Structure 1
Amino acid sequence: MNSFVLQRLPRKAALAALAGSAVLLTACGGGASDSAASPDRSSGASAETLSLFAYSVVKPGFDAVAPAFAQTAAGKGITVQGSYGPSGDQSRKVASGAPADVVNFSVEPDVTRLVSAGLVDADWNSNADKGIPFGSVVSIVVRKGNPKHIHSWDDLLAPGVQVVTPNPFSSGSAKWNLLAPYAARSEGGKNPQAGLDYIHALVGDHVKVQPKSGREASETFLQGTGDVLLSYEDEALALERSGAAVEHIVPEQTFKIENPVAVVKTSKHLDKATAFRDYLFTPDAQRLWAKAGFRPVDGSVAKEFASEFPAPKKLWTIADLGGWARVDKQLFTPNTGSIAVIYDTATK
């Protein structure tokens, strides 16, 4: 069993620090529930509620997309009740019986767990977009004005730089954050030892706190901990738009983030859950994702927003490293995965 010492500020201090600058952070910490859309009963449509279990930082996207779905013929009378938290924890909750209709997790293995549990169809990712309704990239978030002059992965290893990134055993965000420099240093897995040497230096000397989720990592950073936050580009944009005194850098080499969505086949509202999932891929929904800071997967919509999402010089993908089954087994399996062992050693 992996154990970690999580250095957290008191909850009262956290709330005080966030009250003036990050309204978007409210009601969406680990496991928090939130109604993303209210049903329109004006036409006499019967009200139904879909239960969405999702990773922590996607809430701003669903806050925009779910109400728009409720205005469509397929979504009339539908409320989407969202539960947001660390991706791995959310997946384990659903596998243990939490009632969910739709899931949106940070990483594919969290959906695979539900396939193994008989809760999601094995062909959940057989559509043209492989079950990925939007994307992002790993970004580096710094204090306003970039006082530490951080521009690249190498800069994170400078003496005295403290980095905030979540715990990879609860958070999918953490896995993406680590895979970005790992891929850059290992040349897409060609030299895995070079990638592991970087992760060892980063985790051992610069990562002093490990919050449970991407959202909790943002809260910790906004409270004043650390010089750098590693996070999704969409989360970085949300922090900037909230007025927080931060800015973000997309490194020349970074990693493509793909956050899968799936319908839970035991849903009591299977038709509605399927319709909601399908709506996420429509051009209308894709534009809403883009406006919320997520990279659209629809090619025509992506062109509309190309200026808002600059292309990195090199964008590594999970496929470059052999796919999630290989990556999870070799790098993140507790007690045996190469990165898991690095975390164990660093926290003893």
Structure 2
Amino acid sequence: MPGRTIGWLLGMAAIVAGAAACGGSADAGGGKVRLSLVAYSTPQAAYEEIIKEYRKTPEGKKVTFTKSFAASGEQSRAVASGLKADIVALSLEPDMTRLVDGGFVAPDWNTGPEKGMVTDSVVVLATRKGNPKNVRTWDDLTRPGVEVITPNPFTSGGARWNVMAAYGAKANKGADKATGTAYLHTLFKNVPVQDSSARKSLQTFSGGKGDVLLAYENEAIFAQQSKQPLDYTVPDSTLLIENPVAVTKNSANPEEARAFLKFLYGKKAQEIFVKNGYRPVTDGVPGAEKFPRPSGLFTIADLGGWKKVTSEFFNPKGGIMAEVEKSIGVSVEG
């Protein structure tokens, strides 16, 4: 749709402008290096704190940062269209794959011990304080009169995690495709608005819209830490969220970018992620024990992997979610 295309172009221009405005500038006379971090919206607070800690280290003293935060899909497309980035931190693997295919990220970005993933989380059901509508299961989301808030899966990585969590839970990890697909059609009839990112959906919910927010566990924890009147339930069957990070191939300062990437996997940065509600990807991080492990936890690999899932569910021309959106009058054309 032309209006949406124009909106995306304006949004990308805003991202570029935001990246230029954020963070410190390079000090050419002082031997400082400026790194550009392009990330999805949700972990902004964590990255702000991590950067402050990194700049206290010997490796980080000479480094300043520009920072850009927006929906994962928007960020991936922006980098592919020329937005400068030294480090990209995205919501889900397909957004990184776009950059690999475009020659912006090396194909071996995910060969390390953590497979390129810097944080984990799970999909949860967030409700108003006290859970007034007693929403505890996936079936409760499709009851008449229950409004569910989730972002648009054609712009938001968080939305895709939500969709696949709901589908996998109802489809017995993909074994019953018909039941899972029918559930998505019913679920999205209860979705009154689809924002462009997970953080915007949280803002919508915090503003009073909706009864339930499909969210990352860390988003629900962030909201509680921000004193928002919110409770959340971790369903017995839910999806493990895995968030990728990589250094770009065209980084002007690859050595410094790799040093920061290494810091992200260290104890200090992982502790900060935990404090912000993320599950760590390395062992021995204090606070990791507080996270419940759902009995029916599954991964995207259990559903066939992102390549298969993206083709089947998120192809704007005939994918399952394209049909779901079409049935409720939401456009997926950009």
The aligned residue for residue 236 of structure 1 is: 220
The aligned residue for residue 340 of structure 1 is: 322
Give the secondary-structure state (helix, strand or coil) at the position aligned to 1:342.
helix
Partners of 2:119 and 2:26 lie apart in 1 by 27
2:236 is matched by which residue type in structure 1? E
Partners of 1:122 and 1:61 lie apart in 2 by 27
Q: In structure 2, do the counterparts of structure 1 residues 132 and 272 end up closer, same or farther at CA, with 3 Å as the change threshold?
A: same
Answer yes or no: is the 8 Å Cα contact 1:61–1:294 preserved in 2. no
The aligned residue for residue 322 of structure 1 is: 304
Answer yes or no: is the 8 Å Cα contact 1:140–1:230 preserved in 2. yes
1:123 is matched by which residue type in structure 2? D
Q: Which of 53, 68, 77 is equivalent to 1:68?
A: 53
Partners of 1:281 and 1:293 lie apart in 2 by 16
Superposed CA deviations along residues 140-172 of structure 1, whole A, max 9, x for unmatched, are: 111111111011111111110001100001000
Instruction: Please report how far the alpha carbon of residue 267 of structure 1 lies from its aligned counterpart in structure 2 after TM superposition.
Output: 0.9
Answer yes or no: is the 8 Å Cα contact 2:26–2:33 preserved in 1. no
The aligned residue for residue 84 of structure 2 is: 99
Partners of 2:82 and 2:102 lie apart in 1 by 10
Answer yes or no: is the 8 Å Cα contact 2:279–2:288 preserved in 1. no
The aligned residue for residue 116 of structure 2 is: 131
Answer yes or no: is the 8 Å Cα contact 2:24–2:66 preserved in 1. no
2:128 is matched by which residue type in structure 1? R
The aligned residue for residue 32 of structure 2 is: 47
Answer yes or no: is the 8 Å Cα contact 1:173–1:214 preserved in 2. yes
Q: TM-score, normalised by structure 1?
A: 0.87
Answer yes or no: is the 8 Å Cα contact 1:35–1:80 preserved in 2. no
Sequence identity of aligned pairs in percent?
Answer: 42
Give the secondary-structure state (helix, strand or coil) at the position aligned to 2:284.
helix
Partners of 1:172 and 1:183 lie apart in 2 by 16
Answer yes or no: is the 8 Å Cα contact 1:2–1:334 preserved in 2. no
Partners of 2:288 and 2:248 lie apart in 1 by 33
Q: In structure 2, do the counterparts of structure 1 residues 2 and 332 end up closer, same or farther at CA, with 3 Å as the change threshold?
A: farther
Superposed CA deviations along residues 216-243 of structure 1, whole A, max 9, x for unmatched, are: 1011111111111111111111111101
Superposed CA deviations along residues 6-61 of structure 1, whole A, max 9, x for unmatched, are: xxxxxxxxxxxxxxxxxxxxxxxx845498876999xx963222111111111011
Partners of 1:212 and 1:340 lie apart in 2 by 16
Partners of 1:180 and 1:250 lie apart in 2 by 11
Spell out the pairing of 1:173-212 with structure 2 (5 A cutoff): 173-203=158-188, 205-212=189-196
Partners of 1:36 and 1:223 lie apart in 2 by 26
Superposed CA deviations along residues 63-121 of structure 1, whole A, max 9, x for unmatched, are: 22111111222222212221111110110000000111110111111111111111100
Matching of residue 159 in structure 1 with residue 141 in structure 2: no
Q: CA RMSD in A?
A: 2.2
Instruction: Please report how far the alpha carbon of residue 320 of structure 1 lies from its aligned counterpart in structure 2 after TM superposition.
Output: 0.3
Answer yes or no: is the 8 Å Cα contact 1:142–1:228 preserved in 2. yes
2:168 is matched by which residue type in structure 1? A
Answer yes or no: is the 8 Å Cα contact 1:139–1:232 preserved in 2. yes
Instruction: Please report how far the alpha carbon of residue 290 of structure 1 lies from its aligned counterpart in structure 2 after TM superposition.
Output: 0.9
1:241 is matched by which residue type in structure 2? Q
The aligned residue for residue 17 of structure 1 is: none
2:211 is matched by which residue type in structure 1? D
Instruction: Please report how far the alpha carbon of residue 3 of structure 1 lies from its aligned counterpart in structure 2 after TM superposition.
Output: 9.3
1:227 is matched by which residue type in structure 2? D
Answer yes or no: is the 8 Å Cα contact 2:22–2:68 preserved in 1. no
> Number of residue pairs matched?
318
Instruction: Please report how far the alpha carbon of residue 308 of structure 1 lies from its aligned counterpart in structure 2 after TM superposition.
Output: 2.0
Q: In structure 2, do the counterparts of structure 1 residues 33 and 230 end up closer, same or farther at CA, with 3 Å as the change threshold?
A: farther
Q: TM-score, normalised by structure 2?
A: 0.90
Q: Which of 132, 138, 161 is equivalent to 1:147?
A: 132
The aligned residue for residue 202 of structure 2 is: 218
Q: In structure 2, do the counterparts of structure 1 residues 37 and 64 end up closer, same or farther at CA, with 3 Å as the change threshold?
A: farther
1:299 is matched by which residue type in structure 2? D
2:160 is matched by which residue type in structure 1? K
Give the secondary-structure state (helix, strand or coil) at the position aligned to 2:239.
strand
Instruction: Please report how far the alpha carbon of residue 139 of structure 1 lies from its aligned counterpart in structure 2 after TM superposition.
Output: 1.1
Give the secondary-structure state (helix, strand or coil) at the position aligned to 2:201.
helix
Spell out the pairing of 1:9-88 with structure 2 (5 A cutoff): 31=15, 32-33=18-19, 46-88=31-73
Q: In structure 2, do the counterparts of structure 1 residues 2 and 218 end up closer, same or farther at CA, with 3 Å as the change threshold?
A: farther
Partners of 2:177 and 2:2 lie apart in 1 by 23
Answer yes or no: is the 8 Å Cα contact 1:35–1:79 preserved in 2. no
The aligned residue for residue 264 of structure 1 is: 248
Instruction: Please report how far the alpha carbon of residue 248 of structure 1 lies from its aligned counterpart in structure 2 after TM superposition.
Output: 1.2
The aligned residue for residue 247 of structure 1 is: 231
Partners of 1:260 and 1:187 lie apart in 2 by 26
Partners of 1:2 and 1:152 lie apart in 2 by 39
Give the secondary-structure state (helix, strand or coil) at the position aligned to 1:273.
helix
1:193 is matched by which residue type in structure 2? A
Structure 2: segments with no counterpart, 5+ residues: 5-13
1:134 is matched by which residue type in structure 2? T
Answer yes or no: is the 8 Å Cα contact 1:51–1:101 preserved in 2. yes
Partners of 2:41 and 2:95 lie apart in 1 by 14
